[in-house]
Amino acid sequence: MTPTEPAARGAAAPTAVRPPLPVKMVIAGGFGVGKTTTVGSISEIRPLTTEAAITEVAAGVDDLSHTPHKTTTTVAMDFGCITIDSTLKLYLFGTPGQDRFGFMWDDLVEGALGGLVIVDTRRLDDCYAAVDYFEHKGIPFAVAVNAFDGRVEHALDEVRWALDIAEQVPVFTYDARERGSVRDALLVVLELALARAQG
Amino acid sequence: MAAGDTPVGEEARPGRPDDPVGRAPAVRPFLVTAGRVAGARSGPPIPVETQVVTTAAGVTALDGLSFEAHDIVALCRQPQSLAEIAAKLRLHLNVVRVLAEDLRSEGHLSVYVPNADLAQDISVLRRVIDGLRTIPDSRGALRDTD
């Protein structure tokens, strides 16, 4: 039922256009950290917003933790895309992140090539959930410190230490407004994914 | 015709991309799916990047379709991801999942579910890397002196 390559299910339908193979990367981080700016800097379309359901698991003592089971919340998700060629299209999904909850992003993240966790050094707490999630799922990811106004308030070593990021995870600064900077950040993640795929 | 027929699409929601909740739409999302939700079937929900294309039969049937079904089949004459359909028609992603599956089983849409192994496919990763490398630093001539 789920073909490996887009199957020629439309073979008998001459007007059906053969779609590109879609791949995706996930841009994660706290609210207002620059996810949409990042997507918008490199996307060939203006970022679109859709509402997605995210399953939350109440972590520890919280207002919602009296609910014994997982709860589903609707969140706004921004995304854009880059046409690699006529047969391959890269989607970039900005996933909302909140601390306090362990997010179940599986619905969005399943099958992603990799993730980019965006960090605002003034609010390091906001990205714990994303770092934890990618580590837990074994998805290749890097941590990109968005250097607002070219300043970074913490040294990268301190960010790595504060977030308890494993040595093999790249941590670097970038500028969410610069297309070249975003491109290079995505390439860091993809090179990591390639190295892992090559085993 | 289509735009006026769909109350959900009429909601002018201000762009607040990081708003965690957003405004409630005028029509409860799952009214249009008669209460059915995605993922109720066996297996995981189809990925958000899944490509959807209108079939020849769908084009033929277009005038007979109404509301969301019409809008989706009309939109997907050009391939769209589930996420694009949801965003452009202002429908909840899981509503689109349900409706796309309905329209596929009726023969109006082809739904191309990507294989999850794609993420570990070396040739795909190389193509994405090579493709990204060709993207210049900035758009237009704004910074051509850098």
A43: domain CATH number is 3.40.50.300
Decide if B21 is inside a domain.
Answer: yes
Span B26-82, pLDDT tens digits: 566 666 666 666 554 556 788 999 999 999 999 999 999 989 999 999 999 999 999
Residues of B in contact with A91 (CB under 8 A): 48-49, 81, 83
Q: Name which of B8, B11, B18 to mutate to probe chain A: the one with the most chain A Cβ atoms within 10 A of its Cβ.
A: B18
Residues of B in contact with A110 (CB under 8 A): 44, 47, 116
Decide if B45 is inside a domain.
Answer: yes
Instruction: State the Cα–Cα distance between residues A187 and A184, nearest whole angstrom.
Output: 5
Per-residue pLDDT averaged across A41-58, rounded? Answer: 80
What is the enclosing helix (H) or strand (E) of A109?
helix A106-109
Decide if B33 is inside a domain.
Answer: yes
Decide if A4 is inside a domain.
Answer: no
Closest A-chain CA to B49: A22
Decide if A170 is inside a domain.
Answer: yes
Per-residue pLDDT averaged across A172-179, rounded? Answer: 94
Phi, psi of A22 (to 5 degrees): -95, 135
Query: Residue A5's pLDDT is what?
Result: 44
Closest B-chain CA to A20: B51
Q: Between A89 and B5, where is the model more confident?
A: A89
Query: Residue B25's pLDDT is what?
Result: 55
Query: Residue B26's pLDDT is what?
Result: 58
Q: Between B6 and A69, where is the model more confident?
A: A69
Query: Residue B9's pLDDT is what?
Result: 35
What percentage of chain A carries pLDDT values higher than 70?
73
Inter-chain CB pairs, A–B, below 8 Å: 196
Per-residue pLDDT averaged across B92-105, rounded? Answer: 93
Q: Name which of A4, A39, A51, A141 to mutate to probe chain B: the one with the most chain B Cβ atoms within 10 A of its Cβ.
A: A51
Decide if A153 is inside a domain.
Answer: yes
End-to-end CA distance of chain A: 29
Decide if A79 is inside a domain.
Answer: yes
Decide if A8 is inside a domain.
Answer: no
Q: Judge contact between A28 and A119, C-beta under 8 A.
A: no
Considering only residues 86 to 145 of chain B, which have any Cβ-Cβ distance to chain A shorter than 8 Å?
86-88, 92-94, 110, 112-122, 124-129, 131-133, 135-139
Number of structural domains (chain B) is: 1
Decide if B60 is inside a domain.
Answer: yes
What residues make up the domain containing B107?
Answer: 2-115
Query: Mean pLDDT in chain A?
Result: 81
3-class secondary structure, A164: coil
Per-residue pLDDT averaged across A82-92, rounded? Answer: 96
Per-residue pLDDT averaged across B78-90, rounded? Answer: 96
ipTM of the complex: 0.83
Q: Between B70 and B9, where is the model more confident?
A: B70
Number of structural domains (chain A) is: 1
